[in-house]
Structure 1
Amino acid sequence: MTKTKVIAITGASSGMGKAALQLFAQRGWIVYGGARRVENIPTGTNIHPIKLDITDSESNHHFINTLLTEQQHIDVLINNAGYGEGGPVEEIPLEKVRKQFETNFFGAVELTKLILPKMRSQNVGRIVNISSIGGDLYMPLNAYYHASKAALQQWSDALDTEVQQFGIRSVIVQPGGTQSSWSKITMDNVRKNLKPDSAYLPFVNSGWYLI
């Protein structure tokens, strides 16, 4: 008897994560969607919304443990959650730099480490890591975002060479612009991270880098 496919998706309350959740559910997969704003995760047949903060280890363990307890297997993990901590390199506080990497890199690392033993025991599995064209390219005011996505890509490709022997693949997806709130949030963060007397204010106000 063929088992129903099970997939876990982070950042499932908006953008690509939300769209992926709806698509897989429509195709009959059992979907576990995680997000901090769990109330924004769509509900319906095959969908299991779970509150998830990928910067919190306890939350990550709860997300994966719930899925494995209820389903006993997992076919795909999509590490989609992420955001852009925009602003000048000089002025973004170090705690926000760490938050950027906790969200865009270390959260994916921990969730992957939590599901790998089960995927190895199954001899099959797929880990999909959502990076960005920004992992290969760069622009002003997004240095830490670019760095976190570049880290995710190198880590994912190295992981792939280790887990292929167990029937598992780790792949990177590099989207360009999408219909989401990412750009607005990033630009809001640019403004928040600027000091009132910032030497970079004229540069930010010029907007030339957005062309």
Structure 2
Amino acid sequence: MTTRHTLFAALVPALLVAALLTGCTSKTPSATPTPTATPSPSPTPLLPQASGAIPPAVAQVVVAMTTHKPEDLTALVAYQQVACTTAQGAGGPPKCKTGDSQGTVYRVFATGGCEGEWVTDARPILKQIADTSGPLFAVVKLTRPNPDPEPGWPKGDAAMIYNAGSGAGGYFVVADAQIVRAHTYCGAPAIDALLKQLGATEFYVAPPGR
């Protein structure tokens, strides 16, 4: 074998090893882009922006209405012990049932639409207001009248008004951390007349435009 052939034979294995090493060299992987996190939408607040501290009972009513849970409203109801009357006509104390004598005491709740009335079960009226009401219109602080022209009618410390200006919805009156009255409207209410009737002195949550 010639010297040239000997050198070529010696170089072949070295070249093969170099080629294999070059082919096995791993490439630096390209950087994987970090996905951009999509921010979660902010939850709708259950309580409105208020000008002062909202009383706890008011907050509970507003949350129950916002989440549409009439059963939570029922848990806040304060029934009254009121003597019935045999007198006819709208308004006044609850009417005595057949067989009951004048002055029989009933466990009743104050409500009404065009006229005030007393009911023995508050759940239907609470559900009606919850089902027909839209957004909260206003929350007002109430002052109890002195002297009181209607001493037999429950008075409150605050009222929550829903859908004022339309015939749907209604309002709640709370006192001592309980709902003492719940009313539907007799047609579209005049807001100023309603506020005066309730004895509103200031707003916790003002109506639009005030």
- Name the structure with the higher strand share: 2
Task: State the TM bucket, normalised to the shorter chain.
Answer: under 0.3
TM-score scaled by length of structure 1: 0.22
Larger Rg: 2
TM-score (norm 2): 0.22
